[in-house]
Amino acid sequence: MQLFKGLIVIALVKMMTSFFGFTTLDGIVNTVLTWGVLAIIIIFQPEIRTLLEKMGQTNNEFTNSLSTDDREKIINELVNCITYLSKTHTGALITFERRQSLQDFINTGIKYDSEIKNEVLQTIFYEGTPLHDGATIIKNDRIVASACFYPPTNKDVPAQYGARHRAAIGISEITDSLTIIVSEETGNISFVAHGDLRLINPREVRAQLVAELNWYHEDEGDFDE
């Protein structure tokens, strides 16, 4: 904030030096302004990148073009899978693209195209498969990549949270995605969005999925939030 205030003052001085024809002082002010702008770009690079990504984002939120029956089937597949992974303490990291594109992170993993099926997701996160490390990304109604990696959060997190939790918080800080974590140590289920991590009771997974993904029109009333 102080840096911005300083640049505003310098810009005002620049206007005055130009108006009164102070050539030498004007040159000095120009140099200071140039380095000040560069300093802002360097210091606020993450924020600038996030802003540009949001400006260029497209509406990739889960499409409402699916029929209600199709949506219900996919929700059932997800609920069955997450519940199974929790019971068996199988570690998992599943990210749902919403409005902001995750293409940069899709490119870090193994790309493919698959229906959202309980058995497919169980196979992906089985410890013996090459896809179980990293995150699996779901875009619209398709699984589009696995073994994807995210920048971990820089903020302090409780000691019981491992690499999956740090990665999930990290991606949620720079995109509007929803990430579901299943802990292999405890079997706990967590939902992460907007930098916040919430433990979810297995019985609440369905309602939380519907609420977070905004799949259903308000007038359809198929599921209670």
Residue 99's domain comprises: 68-213
pLDDT of 210 over the 70 cut: yes
Q: Report if residue 174 sits inside a domain.
A: yes
Q: Is residue 28 domain-shared with residue 72, that is, in the same domain?
A: no
pLDDT at 33: 64
pTM of the model: 0.69
pLDDT of 151 over the 70 cut: yes
Q: Is residue 100 domain-shared with residue 208, that is, in the same domain?
A: yes
pLDDT at 224: 38
Q: Is residue 26 domain-shared with residue 81, that is, in the same domain?
A: no
Q: Is residue 80 domain-shared with residue 187, that is, in the same domain?
A: yes
Q: Report if residue 224 sits inside a domain.
A: no
Q: Is residue 36 domain-shared with residue 91, that is, in the same domain?
A: no
Q: Report if residue 61 sits inside a domain.
A: no
- Kind and range of the H or E run holding 192: strand 189-193
Q: Is residue 25 domain-shared with residue 93, that is, in the same domain?
A: no
Q: Tell me which of 140 and 88 has the higher pLDDT.
A: 88
- 56 neighbors 93 (Cβ within 8 angstroms): no
Count Cβ atoms within 10 A of the Cβ of residue 118 and give its class: 0-12 exposed, 13-18 middle, 19 or more buried. middle
pLDDT of 23 over the 60 cut: yes
pLDDT of 148 over the 90 cut: yes
Q: Report if residue 152 sits inside a domain.
A: yes
pLDDT of 92 over the 80 cut: yes
Segment 3-29 mean pLDDT? 66
Domain count for the chain, please give it.
2
Give the residue among 49, 82, 62, 78 at the shortest CA–CA distance from 175.
Answer: 49
pLDDT at 218: 38
pLDDT of 181 over the 80 cut: yes
Question: Given pLDDT bands bounded at 50, 70 and 90, which one contains residue 119?
Answer: very high
- Residues 6+ away with beta carbon under 8 Å from 47: none
Q: Report if residue 158 sits inside a domain.
A: yes
